[in-house]
Amino acid sequence: MILGVGTDLCSIARLSESLERTPNLAQRLFHPSELGLPVNSLAARFAAKEALAKALGNPRLMQWVEIEIVKDELGKPGFVLHGQTAKNLESVGVQRIHLSLSHEQELASAFVVVEAS
């Protein structure tokens, strides 16, 4: 069954300014494997994590750095959950998370559907 649906938009320029203004922000928001990606990719990942929080309905279940967005061999994006975040989502019955990402010059967007038992 569907536990929740979430969507988010992220301004690429605004995220870039925030990352420049606050040097440690990237380490608080992104998994180590995501650091160093271009800002448009980071904006899409930020939107994905926001959309996941909205779909879950409880952002306290997740730590942003424990959420990694990866692509499969065909380029389809997905989540890899680590640490306490993985345990928390398992404890509330999350079985599958669907993710769609997009970005243009100014905006990145994400759409998330969370399935649970």
- CATH number, position 92: 3.90.470.20
Rounded percentage of the chain residues whose pLDDT exceeds 90? 96
pLDDT at 67: 98
Structural domain total, the chain: 1
Give the tens place of pLDDT for each residue, 25-43. 999 999 999 999 999 999 9
pTM above 0.85, yes or no: yes
Determine if residue 8 is labeled as part of a ligand binding site.
yes
How large is the angle between the packed helices 39-56 and 12-21, nearest 10 degrees?
100
Please determine, for residue 117, whether its predicted confidence score (pLDDT) is greater than 90. Answer: no
**Computed from CA positions of residues 81, 85, 91, 92, in that sequence, does the dihedral angle turn out positive or negative?**
negative
Does the annotation place 90 within a ligand binding site? no
pLDDT digits (tens, 9 = 90+) for 52-89: 999 999 888 999 999 999 999 999 999 999 999 999 99
Give the pLDDT confidence score for residue 65 in this predicted structure.
97
Find out whether 91 and 74 touch, Cβ atoms under 8 Å. no
Residue 109 domain boundaries: 2-116
